[in-house]
């Protein structure tokens, strides 16, 4: 699977973590490798191995200066391509520096993210082209958090839409799940359709005279996209800003996951206000006051996510504040790597089983020298998620075909 992930551009850091040229370098752990990211004097981001090739001193403590990163142990200096540009410990006429290089990886910035490609140069696809990347900066927002579990547990949680009507129920006194409104089917009719980028996942609930249609998108290998348009509960008004949101669950290593959370306004005339974006973050439990400096949640395994059993008994289903925090509690609580041989999957787990099939297929394709689904951005650049009410009896594919097409 490591070889599969190395056929895709993967998020390595938020652009905001490297706010200025010649600023402080940042530790990056990606696909099991320890790396250092730094923005050089030209504003370009370098992503290099984390240790100086001289005596393996940590380059995190390096001095970012004049077009390169200088190791503070003996002064060896490297540019963003890994080239050694100065060896102050060698004679002035020495050519030794021409033989010294740091391992480095290509980077590209878009959508508030520094993307990296860790695979073979001959298979490098063009940079990612999600709609949230093409949205204007004032229409999109990106955040980051870290989970202490295998990426697949987090990804599967994101693709499992059935749990939302159970775990995230806001009123424990309503066990009939009527909080969904006057929907006649609380268990959705599910359809999973494989595509050349992953799959499209539809969930449809009947409502008097209407259908509530939610179309998720899974874009290989780690991206989920979903709409946030229709009201979810009786009496709710549609969101002030029509949005699409989602996540990328990126393996830092086998037991640690960096989660990149995006939300963007799909209406070109309606910007994403900072206040709206922050309301979303706070509701999910990722607000500025909810994160530690290392992007982990303050509500975490060590303090049982500050579960309130009285709130759980009388009000919410979990007693844990924050929708995202509830997800993290269950995903981390499974253990760092889940033993799936003990699972008993049901009819609402079609998205999970299909995703596992696609990931296994990808390993065979890469082993055979082929590119896996979704590696080339043209396969998904026109993809969009949908969350809409349509008249009963209408074919949702026809009714929503324009809404399912990216416009930015």
pLDDT in tens, 190-208: 889 999 999 999 888 776 7
Domain 131-399, CATH among 3.90.380.10, 3.30.70.100, 1.10.3720.10, 3.10.580.10: 3.90.380.10
pLDDT at 230: 47
The answer, yes or no, to whether the previous bond of 45 is cis (omega within 30 of 0) is no
Q: What's the burial of 367, exposed, middle or buried (CB within 10 Å: 0-12/13-18/19+)? A: exposed
Cα separation of 171 and 179, whole Å?
A: 7
Among 280, 159, 175, 176, CA closest to 228: 280
Query: What is the CATH code of the structural domain delimited by 2-123?
Result: 2.102.10.10
Do 84 and 100 meet the contact criterion of CB atoms below 8 Å apart? yes
Cα separation of 351 and 188, whole Å?
A: 13
**pLDDT tens, residue by residue, 367-395:** 999 999 999 999 999 999 988 888 888 88
pLDDT at 227: 85
**pLDDT tens, residue by residue, 197-255:** 999 998 887 767 888 888 999 999 999 999 875 444 444 555 567 889 999 999 999 99
Per-domain boundaries in the chain? 2-123, 131-399
Give the global pTM: 0.92
pLDDT at 47: 98
Do 245 and 259 meet the contact criterion of CB atoms below 8 Å apart? no
């Amino acid at each position: 699977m490591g070889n599969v992930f190395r056929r895709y551009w993967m998020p390595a850091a938020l652009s905001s973590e490297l706010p200025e040229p010649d600023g402080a370098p940042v530790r990056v752990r990606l696909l099991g490798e320890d790396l250092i990211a730094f923005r050089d004097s030209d504003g370009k981001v370098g992503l290099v191995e984390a240790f100086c090739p001289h005596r393996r001193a940590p380059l995190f403590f390096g001095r970012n200066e004049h077009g390169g990163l200088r190791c503070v142990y003996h002064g060896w200096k490297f540019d963003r391509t890994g080239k050694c540009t100065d060896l102050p410990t060698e004679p002035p006429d020495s050519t030794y520096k021409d033989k010294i290089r740091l391992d480095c990886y290509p980077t590209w910035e878009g959508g508030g993210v520094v993307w990296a490609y860790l695979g073979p140069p001959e298979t490098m696809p063009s940079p990612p082209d999600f709609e949230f990347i093409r949205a204007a900066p004032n229409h999109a927002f990106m955040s980051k958090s870290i989970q202490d579990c295998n990426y697949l547990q987090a990804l599967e949680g994101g693709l499992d839409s059935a749990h939302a009507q159970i775990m995230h129920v806001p009123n424990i006194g309503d066990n009939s799940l009527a909080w969904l409104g006057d929907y006649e089917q609380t268990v959705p009719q599910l359809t999973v359709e494989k595509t050349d980028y992953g799959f499209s996942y539809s969930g449809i609930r009947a409502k008097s005279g209407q259908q509530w249609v939610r179309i998720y998108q899974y874009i290989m290998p780690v991206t989920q996209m979903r709409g946030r348009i229709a009201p979810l509960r009786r009496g709710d008004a549609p969101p002030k800003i029509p949005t699409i949101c989602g996540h990328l669950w990126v393996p830092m290593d086998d037991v640690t996951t960096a989660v990149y959370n995006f939300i963007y306004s799909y209406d070109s005339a309606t910007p994403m206000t900072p206040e709206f974006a922050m309301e979303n973050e706070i509701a999910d439990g990722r607000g500025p006051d909810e994160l530690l400096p290392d992007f982990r949640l303050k509500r975490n395994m060590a303090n049982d996510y500050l579960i309130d059993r009285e709130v759980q008994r009388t009000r919410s289903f979990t007693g844990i504040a924050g929708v995202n925090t509830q997800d993290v509690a269950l995903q981390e609580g499974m253990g760092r790597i889940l033993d799936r041989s003990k699972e008993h999957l049901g009819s609402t787990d079609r998205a999970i089983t299909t995703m596992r099939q696609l990931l296994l297929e990808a390993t065979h394709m890469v082993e055979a020298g082929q590119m896996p689904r979704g590696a080339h951005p043209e396969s998904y650049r026109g993809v969009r998620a949908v969350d809409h009410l349509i008249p009963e009896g209408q074919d949702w594919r026809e009714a929503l075909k324009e809404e399912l097409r990216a416009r930015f």
